[in-house]
Structure 1
């Protein structure tokens, strides 16, 4: 009987040790996790933006992409909406300062930056 109790005790000790070891490994990998990319809407006041030609829009896009390449993977342009006197850009970035830096390096005005919390669409009504 003592032998069974001793084996159970040893078995439980091993399980606890394995659990603590697993927890320690999990917390180590969590600390090395990539920073979270947030999604932002950038409003840019650009008089006459809606009148830009395809050549103009291509040049602006190329400039933005070259600045993004220089800045690295902490910021990413998803797409933009061109209206009469504004361009609304959707970006992912680790923080708002990277968006301002991108605007400064590219010569793009930054009128307003809003963090996007979530998105909805007609599909949301069906879920």
Structure 2
């Protein structure tokens, strides 16, 4: 299944409390459960003013549907074409 990187502009994201992050995560998981097994949240990176989420989904439309149902921004949805790491240099 394709992977996607979702950029979410959330001013002050880096200042969210553990309780805030838990509530957001619970909301996301609830929406995912209602959508069925065709979409999966892998993990997210929280920076000062953005959250970068990694999802597996059949297409970008499904990722955008999750964002809409959850009330989350999805400012940019990009399909991952390949993954590289230090081993790629060997």
Scaled to the shorter chain, the TM-score interval is: over 0.9
1:76 to 40, 60, 66: 40
Q: Does 1:95 align with 2:72?
A: no
Instruction: From the two aligned structures, give the one with the greater strand fraction.
Output: 2
Instruction: From the two aligned structures, give the one with the greater helix fraction.
Output: 1
> RMSD between aligned alpha carbons?
0.7
SS of residue paired to 1:101: helix
Which residues of 2 match residues 1-127 of structure 1 at below 5 A? 37-126=1-90
Runs of 5+ in structure 1 lacking a partner?
1-36
- 4+ residue runs over 3 A deviation: none
Cα distance in 1, alignment partners of residues 10 and 30 from structure 2? 20
Runs of 5+ in structure 2 lacking a partner?
none
Higher RCO structure, 1 or 2 (CA under 8 Å, sep 6+): 2
